[in-house]
Structure 1
Amino acid sequence: MARPKSLAVLKPVVQASGYDPMTPVRSLAAIPPLMALALILVWPAIALAQSLDAADRPFEALWHWAPFLITRGFLFNILISFLCLAIGTFAGVLLGLGQISLHRPLRGLSWFVTQLFRNSPWLVLLFIVMLALPFEVTLFGRPYYVPGWIKAVIGLSLPVMANIAEIVRGAVRSVPSTQWEAAESLAFTRRQILWRIILPQCFKRMIPPWMNWYAILTMATPLVSILGVEEVVNLTRQAIVAEQNRPELLMPFYGFVLVLFFAYCYPIARLTLRLERKFAVKL
């Protein structure tokens, strides 16, 4: 009797190599909590070592300016990140749904806008928005000044919008096509299928990458300081100037800003990976 040949088997799914948008948050969250605490504690020692004989003076100045830098600077960065994420999420959801539209012109336009802002440098977009928008608008015959931070919010919202659109499109495409076919067989309209069947399953899948982009956005908010927006980096520079530009202040002040961002983004990164494991699609 002839020996049967080996039957074909389904091999495990191998993820294609390439850039993973979750890489920045994974790298940050990979730092153990104790090591993260140690890194924060090492900062004062390095600052003291660089300040030489004036070891006590830099931290006296930092202690004086710290409340101002936190309340008037860092919290403003957080406000900018919230506004950018809100605008980017709203516009990104619409843009992502446009990419799966049955209307070819709308689908093509949505794809073009997504790729344009997704692959453009954030700083270049900020400069374009800052220069393109007017410095003053007139409503009902009364002029109104347009603050720089509003332009910065719009500029940072554009790349966030494009990346959120990709998250929405990818989440919708990840739902098995059999669910679309089953819903169509039950005479559901496309709108009913999308809003009642497909999108409710996508929300959990979109939360981890959505939080990932919020962490990236928060770490990118210091870019607006180049455009003159008075956030934490700009105010830190002003505080150093007010202290006679002493070189020994650079490490304590900018190290303090680094600690603020790290202490804020590190828990978000840890929570993001935890939610990613919780909501991972089991194959």
Structure 2
Amino acid sequence: MSTANLIAQVLEWMPFVLEGFALNVLMSLLAIAVGTMMGTFLGLGQLSPGWVVGAPSRVATQLFRNAPWLVLLFYCIFLMPFQITIAGSVIQLPSWLRATIGFSFPVAANFSEIVRGAVRSVPHGQWEAAEALGYSRRETLFRIILPQCITRMIPPWMNLYALLLTATPLAMIVGVEEALGRTQAAVQAQSDSRVLIPMYLALLTMFFLYAWPINRLSLVLERRFRTK
């Protein structure tokens, strides 16, 4: 097979693989959204002085942060129902959606640490100054501390999203037809081992072209915010 024919075969299967890559992107966007919301509550919970809120938040953060992503994925895929009934309506929960929920747990745990670290990085003198001005702890946190933390959290949050995107191919193991699964199906359909490397190289290029600008932008923002 000539190089031209090899390239033509790869290009022929690209729309099929790109549809799977779109599912990777969708899962990553939903997981980062859900994980960010959950992680914000967990992070603020870790900062709580009371053990009723603080202890469970710290335990949940460490549990999901240190658990293998694939194990959490298996739990959500096989323990969550395939469908739920709400007000008499049956709602299907496809594999990709359950996998997205599985990805959101480690994302939440990692973002929880980002929130906790950002708040801890603010000089303690600001807490004391706000207390001297009559602010409550809640008012100090939401009106003085957290607004300063946003710029500190954005770069690591973007890096977390890039990491999440590169982890989404794990969903292929539990039956989700995303980019990696479609690439494997395309290679098997052609029955020619010579297309294996070009097909997976094309897949690698997709993820690189999507994730690399995110990483570069996070570095730019990190340098910019550091100077302020």
Corresponding position of 1:37? none
CA distance in 2, matches of 1:240, 1:157: 30
Task: Give the structure with the larger helix fraction.
Answer: 2
Per-residue deviation, 1:242: 2.5
Corresponding position of 2:192? 246
Note if 1:63 corresponds to 2:45.
no
Q: Secondary structure at the residue paired with 1:137?
A: strand
Aligned length: 228
Deviations 1:44-100 (A, max 9, x none): xxxxxxxxx443332111111112221x11121111111010000000001000001
Deviations 1:186-238 (A, max 9, x none): 11111110111000010000111001101101111111111111111111122
CA distance in 2, matches of 1:184, 1:237: 60
Per-residue deviation, 1:280: 2.0
Per-residue deviation, 1:281: 6.6
The correspondence of residues 35-54 of structure 1 with structure 2, limited to 5 A, is: 53-54=1-2
Per-residue deviation, 1:240: 2.1
CA distance in 2, matches of 1:207, 1:225: 29
Match of 2:143 among 193, 196, 205: 196
The correspondence of residues 162-201 of structure 1 with structure 2, limited to 5 A, is: 162-201=109-148
Match of 2:210 among 258, 264, 281: 264
Q: Secondary structure at the residue paired with 1:279?
A: helix
The correspondence of residues 27-106 of structure 1 with structure 2, limited to 5 A, is: 53-70=1-18, 72-106=19-53
Tell me if structure 2 keeps the 8 A contact 1:99–1:107.
Answer: yes
TM-score, normalised to structure 1, is 0.77
The correspondence of residues 209-224 of structure 1 with structure 2, limited to 5 A, is: 209-224=156-171
Q: Percent identity?
A: 50
Corresponding position of 2:225? 279
The correspondence of residues 96-135 of structure 1 with structure 2, limited to 5 A, is: 96-135=43-82
Structure 2 residue identity aligned to 1:112: V
| Structure number with larger C-alpha Rg | 1
Structure 2 residue identity aligned to 1:272: S
Structure 2 unmatched ranges of 5 or more: none
TM-score, normalised to structure 2, is 0.95
Structure 2 residue identity aligned to 1:241: Q
Corresponding position of 2:183? 236
Corresponding position of 1:136? 83
Structure 1 residue identity aligned to 2:13: W
Q: Secondary structure at the residue paired with 1:138?
A: strand
CA distance in 2, matches of 1:99, 1:136: 34
Q: Secondary structure at the residue paired with 2:84?
A: strand
Runs of 4+ in 1 over 6 A off after TM superposition: none
